[in-house]
Amino acid sequence: MNLMLLEAELRRDEDVRDRPYLDTAKPPKRTIGVGHNMDASPLPASWKFPLSPAQIQQLLDKDIADTFHQLDVRLPWWRDLDEVRERVVANMCFNLGITKLLGFKKALAAMERGAWLVAAAEMKDSAWYGQVGDRSKRLCRAMQTGVMPA
Protein backbone atom coordinates (compact mmCIF):
# COMPACT_ATOMS: atom_id res chain seq x y z
CA MET A 1 0.00 0.00 0.00
CA ASN A 2 1.16 3.51 -0.71
CA LEU A 3 1.41 4.89 2.84
CA MET A 4 2.01 8.42 1.56
CA LEU A 5 -1.37 8.38 -0.19
CA LEU A 6 -3.15 6.97 2.87
CA GLU A 7 -1.48 9.56 5.08
CA ALA A 8 -2.48 12.40 2.74
CA GLU A 9 -6.06 11.10 2.66
CA LEU A 10 -6.20 10.88 6.46
CA ARG A 11 -4.74 14.37 6.84
CA ARG A 12 -7.46 15.67 4.50
CA ASP A 13 -10.28 13.69 6.10
CA GLU A 14 -9.32 14.13 9.75
CA ASP A 15 -7.66 17.57 9.50
CA VAL A 16 -4.44 18.35 11.36
CA ARG A 17 -4.57 20.08 14.72
CA ASP A 18 -1.64 20.99 16.99
CA ARG A 19 -3.93 21.67 19.97
CA PRO A 20 -6.62 19.49 21.56
CA TYR A 21 -10.24 19.82 20.47
CA LEU A 22 -13.45 17.89 21.03
CA ASP A 23 -14.50 15.76 18.07
CA THR A 24 -18.09 15.28 16.94
CA ALA A 25 -18.54 11.80 18.44
CA LYS A 26 -21.18 11.12 21.06
CA PRO A 27 -19.79 11.52 23.68
CA PRO A 28 -17.08 13.83 22.32
CA LYS A 29 -13.48 12.67 22.58
CA ARG A 30 -10.42 14.83 23.13
CA THR A 31 -8.56 14.75 19.84
CA ILE A 32 -5.29 16.14 18.48
CA GLY A 33 -2.95 15.73 15.53
CA VAL A 34 -4.56 13.74 12.71
CA GLY A 35 -7.62 12.39 14.50
CA HIS A 36 -5.65 11.02 17.47
CA ASN A 37 -7.99 10.11 20.36
CA MET A 38 -6.24 11.43 23.48
CA ASP A 39 -8.72 9.69 25.78
CA ALA A 40 -7.94 6.23 24.37
CA SER A 41 -4.22 6.90 23.94
CA PRO A 42 -2.86 9.74 26.09
CA LEU A 43 0.11 11.79 24.98
CA PRO A 44 3.48 11.49 26.72
CA ALA A 45 3.44 13.64 29.87
CA SER A 46 6.36 15.74 28.64
CA TRP A 47 4.59 16.93 25.47
CA LYS A 48 3.31 20.51 25.44
CA PHE A 49 0.93 22.39 23.14
CA PRO A 50 1.10 23.27 20.38
CA LEU A 51 2.47 19.97 19.13
CA SER A 52 5.32 20.13 16.65
CA PRO A 53 4.92 18.69 13.14
CA ALA A 54 7.31 15.89 14.20
CA GLN A 55 5.11 15.00 17.18
CA ILE A 56 1.99 15.01 15.00
CA GLN A 57 3.76 12.71 12.52
CA GLN A 58 4.85 10.40 15.35
CA LEU A 59 1.23 10.07 16.53
CA LEU A 60 -0.02 9.49 13.00
CA ASP A 61 2.60 6.80 12.32
CA LYS A 62 1.63 4.97 15.52
CA ASP A 63 -2.10 5.31 14.84
CA ILE A 64 -1.72 3.95 11.30
CA ALA A 65 0.38 1.04 12.60
CA ASP A 66 -2.27 0.32 15.26
CA THR A 67 -5.01 0.45 12.61
CA PHE A 68 -3.13 -2.01 10.39
CA HIS A 69 -2.54 -4.34 13.34
CA GLN A 70 -6.23 -4.33 14.29
CA LEU A 71 -7.22 -5.05 10.69
CA ASP A 72 -4.63 -7.82 10.37
CA VAL A 73 -5.94 -9.52 13.51
CA ARG A 74 -9.69 -9.12 12.86
CA LEU A 75 -9.95 -8.96 9.04
CA PRO A 76 -6.82 -10.65 7.67
CA TRP A 77 -8.29 -10.78 4.13
CA TRP A 78 -8.10 -6.97 3.87
CA ARG A 79 -4.48 -7.30 2.68
CA ASP A 80 -5.74 -9.22 -0.38
CA LEU A 81 -7.73 -6.23 -1.64
CA ASP A 82 -6.35 -3.97 -4.33
CA GLU A 83 -4.47 -0.92 -3.04
CA VAL A 84 -7.34 1.57 -3.33
CA ARG A 85 -9.80 -0.66 -1.50
CA GLU A 86 -7.18 -1.42 1.16
CA ARG A 87 -6.95 2.33 1.75
CA VAL A 88 -10.75 2.56 1.99
CA VAL A 89 -10.83 -0.12 4.70
CA ALA A 90 -7.87 1.42 6.54
CA ASN A 91 -9.43 4.90 6.35
CA MET A 92 -12.74 3.61 7.71
CA CYS A 93 -11.01 1.73 10.53
CA PHE A 94 -8.89 4.77 11.39
CA ASN A 95 -12.08 6.86 11.56
CA LEU A 96 -14.43 4.41 13.27
CA GLY A 97 -12.14 2.08 15.20
CA ILE A 98 -12.15 -1.67 14.64
CA THR A 99 -15.19 -2.38 16.83
CA LYS A 100 -17.49 -0.05 14.90
CA LEU A 101 -16.02 -1.11 11.56
CA LEU A 102 -16.86 -4.73 12.39
CA GLY A 103 -20.50 -3.61 12.67
CA PHE A 104 -20.49 -3.18 8.87
CA LYS A 105 -21.08 -6.94 8.53
CA LYS A 106 -22.77 -6.93 5.12
CA ALA A 107 -20.33 -4.40 3.64
CA LEU A 108 -17.33 -6.34 4.93
CA ALA A 109 -18.70 -9.65 3.65
CA ALA A 110 -19.23 -8.04 0.23
CA MET A 111 -15.69 -6.64 0.25
CA GLU A 112 -14.23 -10.02 1.13
CA ARG A 113 -15.94 -11.63 -1.87
CA GLY A 114 -15.18 -8.71 -4.24
CA ALA A 115 -18.78 -7.51 -4.59
CA TRP A 116 -17.81 -3.84 -4.81
CA LEU A 117 -21.23 -2.41 -5.72
CA VAL A 118 -22.86 -4.25 -2.83
CA ALA A 119 -20.10 -3.15 -0.44
CA ALA A 120 -20.51 0.49 -1.48
CA ALA A 121 -24.30 0.28 -1.17
CA GLU A 122 -23.96 -1.17 2.33
CA MET A 123 -21.52 1.59 3.28
CA LYS A 124 -24.07 4.16 2.09
CA ASP A 125 -26.80 2.47 4.11
CA SER A 126 -25.27 3.47 7.44
CA ALA A 127 -25.37 6.33 9.93
CA TRP A 128 -21.63 6.80 9.27
CA TYR A 129 -22.35 7.79 5.66
CA GLY A 130 -24.34 10.83 6.78
CA GLN A 131 -21.94 11.77 9.57
CA VAL A 132 -18.62 12.22 7.81
CA GLY A 133 -19.58 14.35 4.79
CA ASP A 134 -17.48 14.13 1.65
CA ARG A 135 -15.26 11.46 3.17
CA SER A 136 -18.00 8.82 2.96
CA LYS A 137 -18.92 9.79 -0.60
CA ARG A 138 -15.28 9.55 -1.68
CA LEU A 139 -14.72 6.21 0.07
CA CYS A 140 -17.93 4.72 -1.35
CA ARG A 141 -16.95 5.83 -4.87
CA ALA A 142 -13.49 4.32 -4.39
CA MET A 143 -14.98 1.06 -3.15
CA GLN A 144 -17.28 0.95 -6.15
CA THR A 145 -14.74 1.83 -8.83
CA GLY A 146 -11.31 0.98 -7.44
CA VAL A 147 -10.22 4.58 -8.09
CA MET A 148 -9.85 7.13 -5.28
CA PRO A 149 -11.51 10.42 -6.28
CA ALA A 150 -9.46 13.58 -5.78
CB-count burial class (<10 Å; 0-12, 13-18, 19+) for 30: middle
Reply yes or no on whether the pLDDT at 1 is more than 90.
no
Does the reported pTM lie above 0.75? yes
Mean pLDDT calculated for residue range 23-36: 92
Q: Can the peptide bond before residue 76 be classed as cis, meaning omega within 30 degrees of 0?
A: no
Reply yes or no on whether the pLDDT at 121 is more than 90.
yes
Quickly state the pLDDT bin for 30 (edges 50, 70, 90): very high
Quickly state the pLDDT bin for 24 (edges 50, 70, 90): confident
Reply yes or no on whether the pLDDT at 132 is more than 90.
yes
Mean pLDDT calculated for residue range 14-23: 96
3-40+52-145 — its CATH code?
A: 1.10.530.40
Mean of the per-residue pLDDT values of the chain: 97
Distance from C-alpha of 123 to C-alpha of 121, rounded to nearest angstrom: 5
The reported pLDDT for the residue numbered 26 is 82
The reported pLDDT for the residue numbered 139 is 98
